Amino acid sequence: MSDRAVERWVAGCFLAAAACAVGFVVGYVVDSGPQVTGGLLGAACALVALGLLLWSARLLPDGTFVEEREPPAPTEADQDAVTEALGRGAVSRTGLLRRTFLLAGVSLAAAVVVPLRSLLSPGSTHPDRALSETDWRRGRRMQTREGDLVRAGDLQIGDTLTVFPEGFPEADDSATVLVRVDPRELRRPTARGAAGAVDGILAFSKLCTHAGCPVGLYEQESRQLLCPCHQSVFDVLDKAQPVAGPAGRALPQLPLAVDHQGYLVADGEFQGQVGPTYWRHA
């Protein structure tokens, strides 16, 4: 293609880009939405790009040249001079000043690291205590996030519900999943967890023991809880023991009871460590 033709193409690109830019402004003013505005501005930039690339490829002078690389390494003379200059002002040969300065520097550096401890927000409990405690207490009732209290009769067989300790709907580590199974299934020899159940209603910590995601999926037919993050599967009839996936521990069970008004209450705390495993005594 002749130079003149390429020039016309490049000019055409820039003109079209200008038109798109105007279109973009119009689109913005009439609020035509993200597709029109984004599309037009993007098209404008693309046309400018095309014009520039064509221009550089076809119209601008090019060539192959040779140049020497900068001297690869400083000469020995330079290195000697630098070493000698660095040694200027060396006062004592015992290195007393150097060593004490180093000591001061290291101590200061170590000291400065210590205030990182303040990153722990004031009012926050010690990690080991915070991780081993939740807001469940014996006799505490359970509520949904909306605030409704739960009675045993509210759940049919096959129902599932997420609950929190009454008064603590924001407590992430206390999130609990209730499922109701047929009580006869819990009486089978292979089943476990019947001791903490009420009328076939079981309660487990909702936090996956693998990486802490809420285990939200309850499969009614197989009585399994599936975690969406890394596909850990827990068997509800076997005290939420992991049967597949990367979790290494069962979901801790929350024993249940019924209070005198008929509401479901916790009959103790979670039986086991809640949430993902951390480094602690086995």
Partner 1 sequence: MITRWVVRRLDDRLGVSPALRTGMNRVFPDHWSFLLGEVATYAFVYLLLSGTFLTFFFDPSTVKTVYEGGYRPLHGAEVSAAYASTVQLSWDVRFGLVVRQSHHWAALLFAGAVVVHLARVFFTGAFRRPRGVNWAVGVTLLLFTVVAGFTGYSLPDDLLSAMGLHVANSVLLSIPVIGTWLAFLVFGGEFPGAAISQRMYIAHVLLVPGLMAALIVLHGWLVVRRRHGQFPGLGRTETNVVGPRLWPARAVRSLGILFAVIALCLLLGGLVQINPVWLWGPYEPGAALGPAQPDWYLGWVDGALRLYPGWEPILFGYRLPNMFVPSVLLPGGTFLALYLWPVLERLWTHDRRPHHLLDRPRDHPVRTGIGVMALTFYALLLTSWSLDVISRYTGIPVFTLVGVFRVGVLTVPLLTGAIALVLARGLRDSGADRLSEMSWSGLRAGWRRRREEDTEVPTEPAPVADLEQPPAMPEDLEPVRVEPGPVP
Partner 2 sequence: MSRHPRPRLGRLALLLVLGVVAAVTVAGRPATAQPGTDPARIDRGRTLYQASCASCHGQAGEGSQRGPTLIGVGAASVDFYLQTGRMPLATEQQQARRGPQKFSQPDIEALIGYVAGFGGDGPGIPAVHAGDLGQGRELYLQNCASCHSSSGTGYAQVGGEIAPSILQSDAKQVAEAVRVGPALMPEFSDGVLDQRQLDAVVTYVGELQRLPDRGGASLGRIGPVSETVVGFLGLALLVVVVRLVGRRTS
Note the residues at the interface with partner 2 (CB under 8 A). 33-35, 38, 53, 56-57, 144-146, 151, 153-156, 158-162, 179, 214, 216-222, 224, 226, 228, 233, 244
Burial 206-228, CB ≥16 within 10 A → b, else e: bbbbbebebbbebeeeebbbbbe
Closest to partner 2 by CB, 158 or 248: 158
277 near partner 1, judged by CB under 8 A: yes
Question: What is the crossing angle of helices 34-54 and 3-29, to 10°?
Answer: 160
Q: Hunting for tokens 């927000």 — which residue is that?
A: 121
Task: Choose from partner 2, partner 1, none: what does 220 bind? Cβ within 5-8 Å by kind.
Answer: partner 2
Closest to partner 1 by CB, 180 or 206: 206
x-or-dash string of contact with partner 1, 92-111, rule CB under 8 A: --------------------
Span near partner 1 by CB under 8 A; candidates 91-99, 102-110, 240-248, 258-266:
240-248
Task: Choose from partner 2, partner 1, none: what does 151 bind? Cβ within 5-8 Å by kind.
Answer: partner 2
Q: Are 248 and 209 in contact (CB under 8 A)?
A: yes
184 near partner 1, judged by CB under 8 A: no
Task: Choose from partner 2, partner 1, none: what does 139 bind? Cβ within 5-8 Å by kind.
Answer: none
Q: Are 264 and 198 in contact (CB under 8 A)?
A: yes
Task: Choose from partner 2, partner 1, none: what does 45 bind? Cβ within 5-8 Å by kind.
Answer: partner 1
Tokens of 83: 């070493």
Tokens of 65: 């040249």
Task: Choose from partner 2, partner 1, none: what does 259 bind? Cβ within 5-8 Å by kind.
Answer: none
CA distance 39 to 21: 10
Closest to partner 1 by CB, 99 or 137: 137
204 near partner 1, judged by CB under 8 A: no
Least Å from the CB of residue 215 to partner 1? 7
Tell which residue, 139, 211, 145, 146, has the closest CA to residue 176: 145
Q: Is the dihedral of CA 85, 90, 95, 99 positive or negative?
A: negative
Closest to partner 1 by CB, 37 or 186: 37
172 near partner 1, judged by CB under 8 A: yes
173 near partner 1, judged by CB under 8 A: yes
Task: Choose from partner 1, partner 2, none: what does 229 bind? Cβ within 5-8 Å by kind.
Answer: partner 1
Task: Choose from partner 2, partner 1, none: what does 160 bind? Cβ within 5-8 Å by kind.
Answer: partner 2
Residue choice 150, 155, 179, 215 for contact with partner 1 (CB under 8 A): 215
CA distance 252 to 140: 17
CA distance 122 to 76: 58
E strand spans, 212-278: 217-219, 224-226, 233-235, 241-244, 256-258, 264-266
119 near partner 1, judged by CB under 8 A: yes
Tokens of 36: 């029109």
Tokens of 179: 């499922």
